[in-house]
Amino acid sequence: MSPSLVANADLSPVTSGTVKGRVASVYSELQTSRIDHALPLPSVLKNPFKIVDGPASSAAGNPDEIAKLFPNLFGQPSALLVPNGADAVRSDEKLKIGVVLSGGQAPGGHNVISGIYDYLQDRAKGSVLYGFRGGPAGIMKCKYVELTSDYIYPYRNQGGFDMICSGRDKIETPEQFKQATETAVKLDLDGLVVIGGDDSNTNACLLAEHFRSKNLKTLVMGCPKTIDGDLKCKEVPASFGFDTACKIYAEMIGNVMIDARSTGKYYHFVRLMGRAASHITLECALQTHPNITIIGEEVAAKKQTLKNVTDYIVDIICKRAELGYNYGVILIPEGLIDFIPEVQQLIAELNEILAHEVVDEGGQWKKKLTKQSLQLFEFLPQAIQDQLMLERDPHGNVQVAKIETEKMLIQMVETELENRKQEGVNKGQFKGQSHFFGYEGRCGLPTNFDATYCYALGYGAGALLHSGKTGLISSVGNLAAPVEDWTVSGTALTALMDVERRHGKFKPVIKKAMVELDGAPFKKFASMQDEWALNNRYISPGPIQFTGPTSGDVNHTLLLELGAQV
Amino acid sequence: MSPSLVANADLSPVTSGTVKGRVASVYSELQTSRIDHALPLPSVLKNPFKIVDGPASSAAGNPDEIAKLFPNLFGQPSALLVPNGADAVRSDEKLKIGVVLSGGQAPGGHNVISGIYDYLQDRAKGSVLYGFRGGPAGIMKCKYVELTSDYIYPYRNQGGFDMICSGRDKIETPEQFKQATETAVKLDLDGLVVIGGDDSNTNACLLAEHFRSKNLKTLVMGCPKTIDGDLKCKEVPASFGFDTACKIYAEMIGNVMIDARSTGKYYHFVRLMGRAASHITLECALQTHPNITIIGEEVAAKKQTLKNVTDYIVDIICKRAELGYNYGVILIPEGLIDFIPEVQQLIAELNEILAHEVVDEGGQWKKKLTKQSLQLFEFLPQAIQDQLMLERDPHGNVQVAKIETEKMLIQMVETELENRKQEGVNKGQFKGQSHFFGYEGRCGLPTNFDATYCYALGYGAGALLHSGKTGLISSVGNLAAPVEDWTVSGTALTALMDVERRHGKFKPVIKKAMVELDGAPFKKFASMQDEWALNNRYISPGPIQFTGPTSGDVNHTLLLELGAQV
């Protein structure tokens, strides 16, 4: 493949103003080439199917409370699609289906919608698909657009959520449920697909329960979305977007590793998205082999303090200096400090003090802190102290999310290295360089895996709605096999739920899937991390390829969880 | 291409410990696949050639001074390789050649070395290639490695400079020239290839002059390297690495654009590498169509102040808010503040004051500032004021490079928007999000263009040394044509030079190529920027592809400079 003059991107407007939706967009050559990328379907979706119900389901915890919260849905079985001689669904039925994107973007969302649309075209011709705009608020305000073939076309296999956009509103209050019901009635909806994370799927299930309790015909189906990878379970082996996002981050990390090795003088501290769970950080570590990786769940399990984490990093840096390596790459999950109890304690105390006390310049206010919290506060770098004191949300609370953990760690590592230098223990050089890889990964072009997986999730959701199912989450399994052999089912959302006590009431929640310390991905990492720490086993995965080598790769986490060797 | 289980990266050690060089490296599947990627050569390099000398050359400025500085080299013609029935070089000659990488990494450096090596294998069998380790210091300390076929193999088409690493030392003092001469004599060097930027190529020419003045046989050849794209001229149409780096940044910018459009609530301020010139920012703008792009050269030409730049951004943000867009993407060159004279003035004054005055907390010291500088200082956000006062280099100077320009602009824009809100002029919402894309781009896998271009540069450098040439820079031209038809020549380094007066002496310099405001790339940008500002013409180029669509693309800057339509 030799460089040559190729017609460039900015003169190839696929849609410019002529197609509704991505109005006035211009497409790059690669985006254009992806639009017509044909997606394989699991064979069960290519042929007539019927639904086989599994055994009655329970809940992830507190089944009695879940049963009370979902009297109409609790216990319903999972629904598996299996081949059938003749279609069990009526192909002359015309459905009215709504779809909504909820929460942060994840690559592949557009393909879920394409999948639903194509199912309706293929199996229930004459059906209508409405896209609610701007997330759940679109349902409540009945703000929607009819999704046609032309409308959807330019978004096929494309990143982003801009076809109908997303939002973070929730349908929570009785008034909001009433609004949602009005929309369902007004549009005569047979079904609604909610594409979102754990909260959004919980919300989907509440909506399904509500509609059923009102004897509404509107069925509700969930879809597992989040780049963080923390919405998954046995039946739902992956949330979409994780594969693409991790590969984008891994490309950048791999480049930074080659840079570190070439210059030999920087420690790159890379913060990665993932506030609640450290799946992204773990996956990126498995793909790239950094010298140090901090996994929040491990920090929590070992009850480590910030000082412990700092010492762990500094110990490795010193050992590496002895080996002649004054460089390295360190991965940190964005949610790290949420995993450290002493930090949570400090923040709670600060919130209390800031709400009620005058913060004097002399520092008298610090006497209100417990001894442990004061010690931690004084251990923090000045810039972080300032940030904790100054940047607060509208409720006056300290904004943990604003803390740049990677910069904080660099400063703490610098201080500790300086201490050791004065003790004569450390003779190395240290230059920290901070990075945050976040937004770059949420809206990339979906990998072949995410494109195909999402299409099957959407197509399957259509099939389940058509079969009269509600309160399920679209589940595509057997992902280690060829697409042909993937299974398609719906899992009872109530089966994923537990309750949490909030304001004296039980609230249903789908528990976030955390990194399991006895799971295959973490165990693989744990068995390698000492080797990676001192030897430089960097791997640079390079940019995502859509054809040729690596274009068929699947992320390590999924493969390891499925028992495959990687 | 369907997702399937593919053998994953971490079990495919190409070199693990068995091949010298990238000792104990493990390769990703994509890296491995790139190693054997066959590179086309310009046809003139595939066949017997002879050298045709051009007319006598002059200098870029002050030819009389350049003539005095380079008495042995000044005026020498450029050397063009042309096909010849029989090779004009002696294939039985065995050469001893050294190569060195100088300065910051740029994708493709390893391919220059591969090109030199392959030339010697193909045309002067039995020759030896030495790689000086760690940059010019390796020459002075005679620290080198013999580059063999096995040694080079795993680095073919790979990013980074880690084959022999690089360094930023210069060969400047008489003592250092003596050391370099000793190395050349000790290794009996017939030639030396210096792969570097403007300074390194100037240094290469001084070395060529020195060797010739000492009647040493060692010839010296330069090679144009820098991701910043600021080493180029008519004869040297591009510096390598620019193509790859810009495409990596453009991938990230494109993703952030889709994110901005999907969420509808962030202004992403993206700082890009390029301290001296804004080529990278301009190229990324041409590839992605951001709403606002600041080009340093334009700011300088229009003698804009920081306030002007802020107002320009705020004006567009307000207009966009009226259109309902509370989001956008803004590109900023890393060197922006170097282009603003008032900032330079302020920094000069601060350096002076900080060196001689006590900086009192009450701020009495500020009275030493000129009125204009005081005004600017007070206009700067607090965090930037602190940075200017606190972070200083070992000479006590303010560290301009440490200023996070994108964060500074976000704060200034926030303040100005607040002012306008209070005047009732602005009713939009503004949330700034900062990014710096730098290290991620310097060490990526070279694009097909950079891989091929570098290979030709190296192969050509070998041919020129073999032909007895010195003091030239390897020049590959006609780049808009198929590789087959690319031209190969050497350009007299003295022809690129001018002088600068430093410490009362004339110093030769290769002037950095700045963004030309009447050049085709800037004119194209200027004709589009108003359109991009208010309409969202975002293009997301996606990840670099090595096969299939876009794998043959060349950057817009080069194409436009060559007169092509893009």
Q: What is the pLDDT of residues B146-202, one digit of tens each?
A: 999 999 999 999 999 999 999 999 999 999 999 999 999 999 999 999 999 999 999
The DSSP element (H or E) to which A405 belongs, if any, is helix A405-422
Smallest CA–CA distance, residue A469 to chain B, in Å, is 29
Say if residue B120 is in the same domain as residue B192: yes
Cβ of A263 within 8 Å of Cβ of B482? The answer is: no
Query: Residue B375 domain-assigned?
Result: yes
If phi over 0 gives left and psi between -120 and 50 gives alpha, with beta otherwise, what is residue B233? beta
Say if residue A285 is in the same domain as residue A348: yes
Q: What is the pLDDT of residue A37?
A: 94
Say if residue B69 is in the same domain as residue B161: yes
Query: Residue A436 domain-assigned?
Result: yes
Q: Report the chain A residue with the minimal C-alpha distance to residue B27.
A: A539
Residues B205 and B222 sit within 8 Å (Cβ to Cβ): yes
Which token pair is B88?
Answer: 């004009």
Confidence of residue A268 (pLDDT cuts 50, 70, 90): very high
Q: Does the annotation mark B64 as catalytic?
A: no
Confidence of residue A14 (pLDDT cuts 50, 70, 90): very low
How many Å from the N-terminal Cα to the C-terminal Cα in chain B? 30
Residues 6+ apart with CB under 8 A from B19: B150, B151, B153, B154
Instruction: Determine phi and psi for A435, rounding to 5 degrees.
Output: -140, 145
Which token pair is A494?
Answer: 């109530």
Which token pair is A37?
Answer: 């990328």
Pairs of CB atoms within 8 A across A/B: 283
Query: Residue B524 domain-assigned?
Result: no
Smallest CA–CA distance, residue A549 to chain B, in Å, is 6
Distance of alpha carbon A497 from alpha carbon A514, whole angstroms: 15
Say if residue B362 is in the same domain as residue B302: yes
Query: Residue B3 domain-assigned?
Result: no
Say if residue A284 is in the same domain as residue A159: no
- Please tell me whether B441 is known to bind a ligand: yes
pTM value is 0.94
Average pLDDT, chain B: 92
* Tally of structural domains, chain B: 2
Distance of alpha carbon A424 from alpha carbon A421, whole angstroms: 5
Give SS3 for B169.
Answer: coil
More confident residue, A110 or A351: A110
Chain B residues with beta carbon closer than 8 angstroms to that of A445: 540, 542-543
Chain B residues with beta carbon closer than 8 angstroms to that of A266: 439
Query: Residue A50 domain-assigned?
Result: yes
Chain B residues with beta carbon closer than 8 angstroms to that of A452: 2-3
Confidence of residue A524 (pLDDT cuts 50, 70, 90): very high
List C-alpha distances in Å: B516 to A350, B277, B319, B496, B512. 54, 10, 29, 17, 11
With a cut of 80, say whether residue B8 has pLDDT above it. Answer: no
In a mutational test of the B interface, the residue from A30, A531, A555 whose CB has the highest number of chain B CBs within 10 Å is A30
Average pLDDT, chain A: 92
Which token pair is B522?
Answer: 């800037």
Say if residue A324 is in the same domain as residue A362: yes
- Domain residue limits at A484: 43-241+446-499
Lowest mean pLDDT among A276-285, A385-394, B403-412: A385-394
Cβ of A258 within 8 Å of Cβ of B559? The answer is: no
Query: Residue A492 domain-assigned?
Result: yes
Determine the angle formed by the axes of helices A371-379 and A306-322, rounding to 10 degrees. 40
Say if residue A56 is in the same domain as residue A141: yes
Say if residue B228 is in the same domain as residue B257: no
Say if residue B359 is in the same domain as residue B492: no
Among residues A196, A22, A171, the alpha carbon closest in space to that of A100 is found at A196
Chain B residues with beta carbon closer than 8 angstroms to that of A548: 33, 546-548
Give SS3 for A53.
Answer: strand
Distance of alpha carbon B229 from alpha carbon B241, whole angstroms: 8
Query: Residue B350 domain-assigned?
Result: yes
With a cut of 60, say whether residue B460 has pLDDT above it. Answer: yes
Cβ of B33 within 8 Å of Cβ of A433? The answer is: no
Q: What is the DSSP string of A267-280?
A: EEEEEES-SS--HH
ipTM: 0.93
In a mutational test of the B interface, the residue from A270, A540, A561 whose CB has the highest number of chain B CBs within 10 Å is A540
Say if residue A176 is in the same domain as residue A279: no
Residues B396 and B351 sit within 8 Å (Cβ to Cβ): yes
Say if residue A182 is in the same domain as residue A246: no
With a cut of 80, say whether residue B455 has pLDDT above it. Answer: yes
Cβ of B30 within 8 Å of Cβ of A550? The answer is: yes
With a cut of 90, say whether residue B227 has pLDDT above it. Answer: yes
Q: What is the DSSP string of A52-86?
A: EE-SPP--SS-HHHHHHH-TTTTTPPPEEEEE-SS
Cβ of B259 within 8 Å of Cβ of A105? The answer is: yes
Q: What is the pLDDT of residue A62?
A: 96
Query: Residue B29 domain-assigned?
Result: no
Smallest CA–CA distance, residue B529 to chain A, in Å, is 13
Residues A102 and A201 sit within 8 Å (Cβ to Cβ): no
Distance of alpha carbon B83 from alpha carbon A354, whole angstroms: 80
Smallest CA–CA distance, residue A563 to chain B, in Å, is 12
Instruction: Determine phi and psi for B20, rounding to 5 degrees.
Output: -65, 165
Q: In this structure, what CATH number is given to the domain that contains residue A97?
A: 3.40.50.450
Cβ of A543 within 8 Å of Cβ of B165? The answer is: no
Q: Report the chain B residue with the minimal C-alpha distance to residue A482.
A: B4
Cβ of B553 within 8 Å of Cβ of A29? The answer is: yes
Chain B residues with beta carbon closer than 8 angstroms to that of A32: 549
Where helices occur in B214-370 by DSSP H, the ranges are: 242-263, 279-288, 296-301, 306-322, 341-356
Say if residue B104 is in the same domain as residue B249: no
Residues B144 and B132 sit within 8 Å (Cβ to Cβ): yes
Per-residue pLDDT tens for A214-245? 999 999 999 999 999 999 999 999 999 999 99
